[in-house]
Structure 1
Amino acid sequence: MIEESRVWVVDWGWPAQGAGWVDAAFMVIRLVGAGHPPQLAEQWAAGLACWAGVTDDGLSAFASHVAGLWSVRAMQAGTRAAQNRAAMARRYAIWRLSGPAADRTAWSGR
């Protein structure tokens, strides 16, 4: 959809309004799934303008939510692709909640 001064792109598979960094966070999960260390995947995202608005607590909450959602969907679908998506999301969430990222987020209020 195009307006005079902007273009709107809609993901019809999952239309929603959210924080500007959400798409980049999904890409971070995909990078982790492709074998990149979570810290390096986040460093890549930090180079994006949209990442400036992300907070550690918000990102940890997002990672936990996606890991849970994709795990439920994997149990329902039973496909290898769904199981792989769930596993990559869980890997990232575990890193966020127990790895170096956890030290930054623990009750930080950020």
Structure 2
Amino acid sequence: MKNADCIQTCLECAADCDHCLAKMAGMESSNDCPACCIDCAAACRACATLLASEGPFSREACELCAKACERCAENCEQHDHEHCKTCADSSRRCAEACRAMAA
């Protein structure tokens, strides 16, 4: 996977997390959603930034992003809301892309 592809995946995931967070505002949650969406979106944006600069911390950023995405997916997939399912799917794709970049 190229940097540009992973950057795009990270940015798409951040947008899906933002959407999920907005939809969950004021709703009851039985787990860490929407808090996990905040962390995941932040990790995705930081990862995209570090990948774009091709700096020395890209690998570590990808590892952290993958962990945040996995946590987010685990929480969001427990809900039946369409926005949570979309967020979980996007988070899984991002975790996979970041793991590939970190390898």
With the shorter chain as reference, the TM-score category is 0.3 to 0.5
Q: TM-score, normalised by structure 1?
A: 0.41
Q: Going by fraction, where is helix more abundant, 1 or 2? A: 2
